[in-house]
Amino acid sequence: MCGIKTGIKSSETAKKFGQRSYRLQMPCLLMKHPQLPMLMKQQVMFYPTSKHYNPKFRKERRRKFLKIDLPDFEKHQREKKMSPDELRMKMKKEGKVPPRSHEERPINISSTGGIFESFVPPEGDGVSTLISSEGAKQRFSGLEKKGKSFLDLRKIKKYLEEFDVKDFSQQAQDIVVEAQTLLQDIKKNEDRLHELVTERAYPELTHGLDLKTCRWKFVGSLEPPRVVHVRVTELLSKENLYAQITIRLHTQQCLAIYDRFGRLMYGSENLVKDVLEYVVFENHISNIYGQWRIHGKIIPDWMPPRDPILRTYQLPKFEPIEEDVENNEENNEGDPKENQQQHATV
């Protein structure tokens, strides 16, 4: 009986794992039980299946397998050979929107996108004196506009306790002089320029200087720099404040610009000119690490136009066009009516 039990156990284990099982045939059992050979000779066979023997967690096991959409490489090759019109018609049939080539601009909140409530320079500034009638009017109109500047100056001092207008005006002039000096080699001084100039003013300062040579020199200041306009505004929230201060600079400078071939395009290195500028500085005062940087320049409408750029041109060499005499003769011979009219006139 022990042999029968072992045979039954082995067949049960074989059923579990889907393997072939055979009846055990032992000579000792044949002698004791003559009816057993008929049972033992019968062969039982089980086929393996992928079905799990435990019905639990069937849903979890099913989720392990995911269908992957393999790319159709032949379709991509066919689309590459299509013209833009054919591809557009194909996408229209499939109900797809054609792709649009556009670039999203990154959002930058370290500086504003423009100059808010910009200062309007009085006409004739730097020319008329305080004793003249025009100078007195400018002085009086400037006092009227200073009321809001004083209120915004108080807001700045809430965030920057050690801020002083007189010290800042001289500091602003030093920033302008350093930034103009660094423009002579943009690639070498790019990191320092970003510290002195905002993201809005950087492309305006460096535009067109990659293939040109700039020579700039600061000679001196005709008048001390002074603050003429102060404004504070909020962006996105009331706690996010930006301050803009306009500085009046009346200085003497030398500027010369050469093209990539070394030819002079504008100005002169030896000619000193009096320059009146209104430079706007901006600071993100809500930020602890905010700095005063150049944000733009105000150019009044009454300012005279700049000198034109000196450009060199190469005169083209024109070759004379040879008239085809043979074609003209053939054309005259081919029109008999015109020939008769010519003879009649003669």
DSSP-based three-state secondary structure for 177: helix
Taking a C-beta distance cutoff of 8 angstroms, is the pair 300, 121 a contact? yes
Please state, in angstroms and rounded to a whole number, the distance separating the CA atoms of residues 280 and 276: 13
Please tell me what DSSP assigns to residue 308: P
How far apart are the C-alpha atoms of 186 and 196, rounded to whole Å? 13
The SS3 of residue 105 is coil
Task: Give the domain ranges of the chain.
Answer: 2-51, 133-298
Residues in the chain, total: 346
Residue among 327, 291, 315, 298 nearest 228 (CA): 298
Can you say whether the dihedral through the CA atoms of 11, 13, 18, 20 is positive or negative?
negative
pLDDT for residue 328: 58
Nearest 10 degrees: CA dihedral of 32, 37, 43, 46? Answer: -30
The burial of 265, by beta-carbon neighbours within 10 Å (0-12 exposed, 13-18 middle, 19 or more buried), is given as: middle
**Integer-rounded Cα radius of gyration of the chain:** 45
The CATH T-level fold of domain 133-298 is Nuclear Transport Factor 2; Chain: A, (3.10.450)
Rounded Cα distance, 91 and 71, in Å: 17
Strands (E), 139-283: 213-235, 237-258, 264-283
Cβ count within 10 A of residue 160: 15
Q: Nearest Cα to 235, choosing from 285, 163, 195, 198?
A: 285
Neighbour count for residue 216 (Cβ, 10 Å): 17
Task: Return d(Cα 158, Cα 47) in angstroms, integer.
Answer: 86
The arrangement of strands across the sheet holding 264-283 comes to 213-235, 237-258, 264-283, 293-298
Q: What is the pLDDT of residue 173?
A: 92
What pLDDT is stored for residue 281 in this prediction?
93
Across the chain, the runs of DSSP E, i.e. the strands, are 213-235, 237-258, 264-283, 293-298
Q: Tell me the CB-side half-sphere exposure of residue 285, using CA atoms within 13 A.
A: 25
CA–CA distance, 221 with 253 (Å, rounded to integer): 9
Residue with tokens 């041109």: 313
pTM for this predicted structure:
0.57
Tens of each residue's pLDDT in the chain, 346 residues: 444 444 444 445 444 444 444 444 445 544 555 554 454 555 666 667 777 777 788 887 777 777 888 888 898 898 889 998 898 888 888 888 877 776 777 777 888 888 888 888 877 666 655 455 655 666 656 655 677 788 888 888 888 888 888 889 999 999 999 999 999 888 888 899 999 999 899 998 888 888 888 899 999 889 899 888 888 888 888 888 899 999 999 999 999 999 888 888 888 888 899 888 999 999 998 888 888 999 989 888 777 777 777 777 778 888 887 776 555 555 555 555 555 554 444 4
